[in-house]
Structure 1
Amino acid sequence: MQLFTLKAATCASALLLSLTPAFAQQHQHVMANPGDVTWKDGPPSLPKGAQMSVLYGDPSKDGVFVMRLKLPANYRIPAHTHPVDEVVTVISGQFNIGMGTNSDPAQMKAIESGGVVAMAPGTPHNVKIDQETVVQLSTRGPWGIAYVNPADDPRKSQ
């Protein structure tokens, strides 16, 4: 009985060791302070001027990711949707968001630093930034954006 238990434990350990590298690749450990964030040009799916920093995961692949966007003053993102739930946390500045396809500034809600917006997949919304603002997106990849008016898609002008 003791020999069987030892063999079973050895087999279980070998199985766990063989699974560990794959598990580690899917889940990464990240700790970052604001000074650790490095910025690069935003994705081509957003109007020019945005900067981005991926803090966790990979927006192009299936799975959870966290990305920050730094949006300059006088920046707009026309009405669009995303294919998955999206949670936006305002890190600094003010994030003005309008729900639906109407981009009337009077209908927008100002979300202050520390505020959160959570949207279900396919929720049309638009964004207006008056001052430099940093937001953090927490969602699942692959990340996508579909503009309500295809002519608004900045990828069409490249």
Structure 2
Amino acid sequence: MNKSIGGLIILVLSMAVSVSPQQSHVADQPAQSDVVPLKAFARDQRFETVSGDPTKPGAIYVIRIHSEAGFITMPHTHPEDEHIVVVKGTWSLGMGDRFSRDGLQTMELGSYGLVPKKMTHFGQAKTDNVIHVYGIGPFTTHWVIPMYELTGKGVLYETSGNQPGVPTSINPPDCFRLKLGAHVRGSYGDGIVIGAQCTPGELTQYRIEKADGERFWAQGEELKIL
């Protein structure tokens, strides 16, 4: 294990965890009772506020974040400590200014991870998954390198995970080799490209929808055009 990562991430595997059955922004959905069951996320929903207000400085908050299989969260920072518990599927966490698969440490169901405030980190969903995040607000996400997002309405430019991307006429030449609607095959199956994210100089990942409606993400070099 990489010592620098091992010193920052504490993994606590629960002996028994029971659960029931993606770049967006923290939804204000406060809990209505003391018990908030884990339920299926609505299509295209990525965030759920379980308790508190993640936007309020000094306030305790609890949120859940859903990621589709293969999705990479690029290097970013938060102003306060981030506490992570995996409540569905498998997540991986790494530290550093550049995304590296070798730097990822797997977090299975029930694992706990601690990311100190202002520490640059990244992650990847190994499967369709949900992580439970808690801490002291504000929960804001600042990308180390701003990213471009390919959507049905054009290309958006994004510097923060908490604010919507803004339309831009800039389309970095090395970003979007595949176009929306391309039929491709990846490790999770065959499907159609319905979106993409590009961090210039780093990587481009594509969002794929399969015939059955299931969605996953893959880097361009992992996909074969059909």
TM above 0.5, one fold? yes
Q: Does 1:67 align with 2:68?
A: no
Deviations 1:23-80 (A, max 9, x none): xxxxx96222224xx7468xxxxxxx56111110011113000000111112111100
**Aligned equivalent of 1:58:** 53
Q: Does 1:103 align with 2:107?
A: no
Cα distance in structure 2, aligned partners of 1:131 and 1:77: 14
Q: CA deviation at 1:120?
A: 1.1
Cα distance in structure 1, aligned partners of 2:37 and 2:165: 36
Cα distance in structure 1, aligned partners of 2:41 and 2:128: 14
Cα distance in structure 2, aligned partners of 1:99 and 1:50: 26
- AA aligned opposite 1:85: D
Instruction: Select 1:118's aligned residue among 92, 106, 114.
Output: 114
Which protein has greater RCO, CA pairs closer than 8 Å, 6+ apart?
Answer: 1
| Higher share in helix | 1
| Higher share in strand | 2
**Structure 2 unaligned spans of 5+:** 1-31, 149-158, 168-226
**Aligned equivalent of 2:37:** 33
Q: Does 1:80 align with 2:84?
A: no
Q: CA deviation at 1:108?
A: 0.7
**Aligned equivalent of 2:4:** none
Cα distance in structure 1, aligned partners of 2:35 and 2:99: 37
Q: Is the 8 A contact 1:96 1:127 kept in 2?
A: yes
Cα distance in structure 2, aligned partners of 1:50 and 1:117: 23
If the length of structure 1 is used for normalisation, what is the TM-score? Answer: 0.68
Q: CA deviation at 1:141?
A: 1.4
**Aligned equivalent of 1:18:** none
Instruction: Select 1:146's aligned residue among 142, 145, 161.
Output: 142
Instruction: Select 1:93's aligned residue among 73, 89, 93.
Output: 89
**Structure 1 unaligned spans of 5+:** 1-27, 42-48
Q: What SS does the aligned partner of 1:106 have?
A: helix
Cα distance in structure 2, aligned partners of 1:39 and 1:50: 6
Tell me the number of residue pairs that the alignment of Structure 1 and Structure 2 aligns. Answer: 122
Q: Is the 8 A contact 1:73 1:132 kept in 2?
A: yes
- AA aligned opposite 1:114: G
Cα distance in structure 2, aligned partners of 1:157 and 1:78: 18
Q: What SS does the aligned partner of 1:148 have?
A: strand
Q: What SS does the aligned partner of 1:34 have?
A: coil
The alpha-carbon distance between structure 1 residues 146 and 95, as it changes in their structure 2 partners (threshold 3 A), is same
Cα distance in structure 2, aligned partners of 1:71 and 1:30: 25
Q: Is the 8 A contact 1:59 1:140 kept in 2?
A: yes
**Aligned equivalent of 1:23:** none
